[in-house]
């Protein structure tokens, strides 16, 4: 299947099944090259080593994938709920059976420490299992009879072909949580993984094929940054694509929403965030530090729900910053195959430059460096894009990170005096994905949870993601939900059927 020579992987990340490192795209059940034969390189962000060359798909491949998905959809929409569930259960089992290889692929192309990659595999698998179960609970409705001689029904039907465009930060979980609800609902999928991380997506597709997915039901098309617009534009213009589900930047999300308007596709957008993390004077400081560490340093800070701004009340500010600095300075930075690393490299040079820029901008505007603050030189991986975990105190609203997601291991701490001040600062952003706060005052808990403008709120909790909960944002963080029963709605239409002339049931 592989058409480029097998790379030499670090021994600690070698695959038990080398055939899971796939270097072709999947269209209509066949592993192919791009129509024009182009390929692009996938590299390890820690070492810069070449991992594979994969097809650089374009408009012709995108159209072929929709043709295949449309054919597959015609049959899959008629599959029973149990048949859909059974396929998802087999896929779930295949993911678990190959979890170590999948984790290694994530670490290889994305750079996150192996322990985190293992966690991501289980996290992604949990969505597949959840939607295997949910596939069997898609209920319509029979409405109360409002008029004599008429019966009103509500049917839930699959929207059709779904285009899934996924990011590099969770290359397995983000794709799994789009494909699983789509298949549960009876849809077919054309998917484009991020250019930095196509290998995990291709392996996932291979396991789905092994689980018995019909040809064309899920098609996976890698594309380079240069070719991505050709693939996306082909899907946006194609009226047979009835839904776009995108996770990524707000700028791209807005473009997709605009460009979907001509064919009025259903759109789900999980976009950027600028999450506040508020610690009130009455909080348990140790719990708040632990919650912040878990939320902020997941994937080296490259997570949409990572706290981007930490707001700490006067009374505990200094105690909190000192405890945070100790925890942050103790983090171990290094490549995924190093064994003990907790913070991996940033995905590429642009990501590293952005964190550096946010730190420099803040220091120039008066922030105080508490710990970190510079690129991390890593002896085992001198070409990696590592940044030393950083804490800045004295953050102010004019600093760049207050308006832009840093997406890296940097924690800026603001000081505030009153609850009203904290809420105003937290909400002073166009984004509204996640927000967190720590308080032991039960009345405050309800007031603040309601006042925060965010799609998800963590109260005394830094880990809020779950397959059982609706993940998604408000404001410029997007719309649509992933996970839970709400996550299925985005892949379903509501059809109303009115059956008339039921004279025998009409009252005389």
Residues forming the active site: 270
Span interacting with ligand SIN, options 187-195, 301-309, 369-377, 438-446, rule CB under 6 A: 301-309
CB of 503 to ligand SIN, least distance (A): 54
**The two structure tokens encoding residue 481:** 């939900």
Residues 472 and 253: beta-carbon distance below 8 Å: no
Of residues 91 through 130, those in contact with ligand SIN by CB under 6 A are: none
Span interacting with ligand SIN, options 227-235, 253-261, 300-308, 381-389, rule CB under 6 A: 300-308
Query: Which residues lie across from 25 on neighbouring strands?
Result: 32
Nearer residue to ligand SIN within complex by CB, 270 or 476 = 270
User: H-type helices in 241-338, by residue range?
Assistant: 250-260, 285-296, 317-329
SS3 274: coil
CB of 293 to ligand SIN, least distance (A): 16
Binding letters toward ligand SIN, positions 410-449, x by CB under 6 A: ----------------------------------------
Nearer residue to ligand SIN within complex by CB, 49 or 469 = 469
| H-run or E-run covering 14 | none
Span interacting with ligand SIN, options 24-32, 168-176, 229-237, 368-376, rule CB under 6 A: 168-176
Nearer residue to ligand SIN within complex by CB, 301 or 373 = 301
**The two structure tokens encoding residue 490:** 């985005």
Please list the helix, strand and coil fractions of the chain in percent, rounded to the nearest 5, in that order: 40, 20, 40
Residues 46 and 381: beta-carbon distance below 8 Å: yes
According to the binding rule CB under 6 A, does residue 390 interact with ligand SIN? no
Query: What residue number has its CB nearest to ligand SIN?
Result: 465
**Rounded to an integer, what distance in angstroms lies between the CA atom of residue 280 and that of residue 285?**
9
Residues 349 and 304: beta-carbon distance below 8 Å: no
Q: By C-alpha distance, which of 50, 195, 45, 171 is closest to 111?
A: 45
Among 224, 465, 477, 484, binds ligand SIN (CB under 6 A): 465
Whose tokens are 């779930």? That residue is: 92
CB of 325 to ligand SIN, least distance (A): 25
DSSP state of 397: T
According to the binding rule CB under 6 A, does residue 352 interact with ligand SIN? no
CB of 456 to ligand SIN, least distance (A): 9
CB of 280 to ligand SIN, least distance (A): 24
According to the binding rule CB under 6 A, does residue 170 interact with ligand SIN? yes
- 4 by Cβ neighbours in 10 Å (0-12 / 13-18 / 19+) ranks as middle
According to the binding rule CB under 6 A, does residue 303 interact with ligand SIN? yes
Span interacting with ligand SIN, options 98-106, 302-310, 337-345, 370-378, rule CB under 6 A: 302-310
Whose tokens are 């192996």? That residue is: 114
Nearer residue to ligand SIN within complex by CB, 34 or 306 = 306
SS3 255: helix
CB of 171 to ligand SIN, least distance (A): 11
Residues 49 and 380: beta-carbon distance below 8 Å: no
DSSP state of 504: G
CB of 167 to ligand SIN, least distance (A): 6
SS3 442: helix
According to the binding rule CB under 6 A, does residue 183 interact with ligand SIN? no
Q: By C-alpha distance, which of 472, 497, 501, 507 is closest to 486?
A: 472
Nearer residue to ligand SIN within complex by CB, 203 or 304 = 304
Of residues 251 through 270, those in contact with ligand SIN by CB under 6 A are: 270
Nearer residue to ligand SIN within complex by CB, 200 or 465 = 465
Q: By C-alpha distance, which of 244, 250, 281 is closest to 263?
A: 244
How large is the greatest C-alpha to C-alpha distance in the chain, in angstroms?
89
According to the binding rule CB under 6 A, does residue 305 interact with ligand SIN? yes
SS3 451: helix
Span interacting with ligand SIN, options 167-175, 369-377, 397-405, 412-420, rule CB under 6 A: 167-175
Using CB under 6 A, list all residues that contact ligand SIN: 169-170, 173, 247, 270, 303-305, 465, 471
């Amino acid at each position: 299947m592989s058409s480029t020579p097998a790379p030499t992987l670090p021994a600690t990340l070698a695959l038990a099944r080398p055939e899971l490192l796939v270097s072709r795209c999947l269209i209509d059940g066949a592993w192919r090259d791009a129509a024009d034969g182009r390929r692009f390189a996938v590299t390890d962000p820690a070492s810069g080593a070449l991992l594979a060359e994969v097809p650089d798909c374009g408009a012709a491949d995108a159209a072929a994938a929709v043709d295949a998905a449309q054919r597959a959809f015609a049959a899959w929409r008629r599959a029973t709920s149990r048949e859909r569930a059974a396929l998802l259960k087999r896929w779930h089992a295949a993911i678990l059976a190959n979890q170590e290889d999948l984790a290694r692929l994530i670490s290889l192309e994305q750079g996150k420490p192996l322990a985190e990659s293992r966690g991501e595999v289980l996290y992604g698998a949990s969505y597949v299992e959840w939607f295997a179960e949910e596939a069997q609970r898609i209920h319509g409705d029979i409405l109360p009879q409002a008029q004599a001689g008429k019966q009103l029904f509500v049917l839930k039907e699959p929207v059709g072909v779904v285009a899934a465009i996924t990011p590099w930060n969770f290359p397995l979980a983000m794709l799994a949580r789009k494909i699983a609800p789509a298949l549960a609902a009876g849809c077919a999928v054309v998917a484009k993984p991020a250019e930095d991380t196509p290998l995990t997506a291709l392996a996932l597709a291979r396991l789905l094929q092994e689980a018995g997915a019909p040809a064309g039901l899920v098609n996976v098309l890698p594309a380079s940054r240069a070719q991505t617009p050709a693939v996306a534009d082909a899907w946006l213009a194609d009226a047979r694509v009835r839904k776009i589900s995108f996770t990524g930047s707000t700028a791209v999300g807005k473009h997709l929403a605009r460009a979907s308007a001509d064919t009025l596709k259903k759109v789900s957008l999980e976009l950027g965030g600028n999450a506040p993390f508020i610690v009130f004077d009455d909080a348990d400081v140790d719990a708040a530090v632990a919650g912040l560490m878990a939320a902020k340093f997941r994937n080296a800070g490259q997570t949409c729900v990572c706290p981007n701004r930490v707001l700490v009340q006067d009374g505990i500010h200094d105690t909190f910053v000192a405890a945070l600095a100790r925890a942050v300075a103790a983090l171990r930075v290094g490549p995924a195959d190093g064994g003990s690393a907790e913070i991996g490299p940033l995905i590429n040079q642009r990501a590293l430059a952005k964190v550096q820029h946010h730190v420099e901008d803040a220091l120039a505007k008066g922030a105080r460096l508490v710990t970190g603050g510079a690129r991390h030189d890593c002896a085992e991986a001198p070409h990696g894009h590592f940044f030393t975990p950083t804490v800045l105190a004295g953050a102010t609203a004019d600093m760049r990170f207050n308006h832009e997601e840093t997406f890296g291991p940097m924690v800026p701490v603001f000081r505030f005096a009153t609850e009203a001040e904290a809420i105003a600062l937290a909400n002073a952003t166009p984004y509204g994905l996640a927000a967190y706060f720590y308080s032991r005052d039960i009345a405050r808990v309800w007031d603040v949870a309601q006042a925060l403008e965010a799609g998800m709120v963590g109260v005394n909790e830094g880990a809020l993601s779950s397959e059982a909960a609706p993940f998604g944002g408000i404001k410029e963080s997007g719309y649509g939900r992933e996970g839970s029963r709400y996550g299925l709605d985005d892949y379903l239409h509501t059809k109303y059927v009115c059956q008339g002339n039921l004279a025998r049931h009409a009252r005389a």
